[in-house]
Chains A and B, each alone.
Chain A
């Protein structure tokens, strides 16, 4: 079955601290992987995507993610969190023939302590 698991429902970090959000996926074909961020009452904004090539991808707002095929993971990282990063983060997987049909995880809510 195709699925995305984000094991952490909530994460709280202090401003300036590093961040890692976990994502594990199950997908039968070559996966396309995405991280989206959603602020309250807003739609989803694409942070970064992985299609192929270098397994470490850089995104907007200082975020990066690393694709590890052997672990079926695509964890999101940021070296220093800002208060404005507080939001809900979604990992998603799609395929080459269905990049429009994304399967999303249930999200991780990030809280930032001042």
Chain B
């Protein structure tokens, strides 16, 4: 079975630009979560979506937004990019049940210059 897939794998953007990252969950998983991992740190929670609705949001500015589609895939959008947005963006999927673990993709490495 395919795991969580993310695209693109790498991305270079300029300050002020906008970026869209994509994620396809494991088949049968209805929940998608997004995490930001800055170099040298652990991942930080950004969003969770379940059945196309936002269930949770971390401490990130409104420049960050996301959505989930009927096929449960998801997009993360970041507007007005800052140098500090440079990070590995990880998508994780789960069944959405209370005790179901997160399964992570390999991430999208975003570099903002």
- Give the contacting residue for A36; candidates B94, B99, B104; CB below 8 A: B104
Q: B64 on the interface (CB 8 Å rule)?
A: no
Name A9's closest neighbour in chain B (CB-CB): B40
Number of interface residues of B (CB under 8 A): 28
Looking at B40, B99, B101, the one whose CB has the most chain A CB atoms below 10 A away is B101
The answer to whether B42 and A90 have CB atoms under 8 Å apart is: yes
Q: A67 on the interface (CB 8 Å rule)?
A: no
Q: A78 on the interface (CB 8 Å rule)?
A: no
Question: Quick check: which of A12-20, A79-87, A103-111 contacts chain B, the rest being far away?
Answer: A103-111
The answer to whether B42 and A51 have CB atoms under 8 Å apart is: no
Q: List 15 A-B contacts (CB under 8 A).
A: A36-B104, A42-B106, A46-B103, A92-B42, A97-B98, A98-B56, A99-B99, A99-B101, A99-B102, A100-B31, A100-B96, A101-B33, A102-B102, A104-B44, A106-B41
Residues of A at under 8 Å CB distance from B? Answer: 4, 32, 34, 36, 41-46, 49, 51, 90, 92, 96-107
Q: Which 10 A/B pairs are nearest by Cβ-Cβ distance? A: A104-B42, A43-B104, A44-B104, A43-B106, A100-B48, A100-B33, A101-B45, A51-B99, A104-B43, A43-B105
